[in-house]
Amino acid sequence: MLFDTHCHLTDERLRDGVAELIRRAEESGVARLVTVGYDRESSLEGAALAEKYDNVYCTVGIHPHDAVTATREIYEEFRALAAGNPKVLAIGEIGLDYHYDLSPREVQRRVFEEQLRLARECELPACLHIREAYEDCRALLEENRDCLGGGVLLHCYSGSAEMVKVFSRYDAYFAFGGAITFKGARRNLDALAAVPRDRLLLETDAPYMTPVPFRGQTNRPEYVALVADKAAEVLGLSREKIEEITTENAKRLFKRLK
């Protein structure tokens, strides 16, 4: 049984064919998937999809790109969704993105901290998007350790093997996607090998980060099977063992899962 812990069914490239995407994912052995919010609209839409489909779960949050849009009113909506819908598994994706800087860095840091506190209030894990900002992320996690009781997930982990050890101090989970199948992915593979087995997760980030051999096309939740195959190869484990490990890890992190 496979678990796609991070995809975006609300993206315009996927939303019109959601039923077919879910069907094809099930046929590929994907038993559960999480559609991740990145702003108010995607969070509300994702929650509605989770209510509609048995094997779809969701998160609510504001991506660092959209940090300038964050308001107390939106946080209140997220808090109400988390309280009223047991299929809301985490607050995210939240964090820091210094590659594009679509929101000012000081705003990103403030909104990141605000949403870490929201995760604490909701007793949910925090799903993090971190790009070219790992040291600032570490510092903010250290300053907000009291907000991490629900768990921390570094989605689409692109940091070094050395930083795996650093974030493991916060009992973090690490999710890997299609990037581990790319040519020249040595850094990603070294990081994958460094992750404790009981903190490893799989994802697609669909419609982004499509794995080989479909790179260049729209990513789909069913392609998490290709990520599992590559992880098994790198770690010297069977595909069945990878499925077992990563599914059990997801259940441990996402405590609301049935």
Per residue in 146-157, pLDDT tens? 999 999 999 999
What confidence score (pLDDT) does residue 233 get?
98
Strand arrangement, sheet containing 2-7:
2-7, 30-35, 56-60, 88-97, 126-131, 152-154, 173-176, 200-202
Among 63, 35, 28, 29, smallest CA distance to 49 is for 35
Q: Show the DSSP H helices in 123-219 as ranges.
A: 134-143, 161-168, 186-194
Strand (E) or helix (H) holding 127: strand 126-131
* Rounded Cα–Cα distance for residues 258 and 254 (Å): 10
Determine contact, residues 30/224, Cβ cutoff 8 Å: yes
What confidence score (pLDDT) does residue 173 get?
98
Question: Which two tokens mark 102?
Answer: 């679509």
What confidence score (pLDDT) does residue 125 get?
98
Residue 193 has a CB neighbour count (10 Å cut-off) of: 13
What confidence score (pLDDT) does residue 190 get?
98
Note the CATH number of domain 37-201+230-253: 3.20.20.140
Q: pLDDT averaged over consecutive 10-residue blocks of the chain (258 residues)?
A: 97 96 97 98 98 98 98 98 97 98 98 98 98 98 98 98 98 98 96 98 98 98 98 98 98 92
What confidence score (pLDDT) does residue 108 get?
98
What confidence score (pLDDT) does residue 95 get?
98
Q: Helix, strand, or coil here: 179?
A: helix
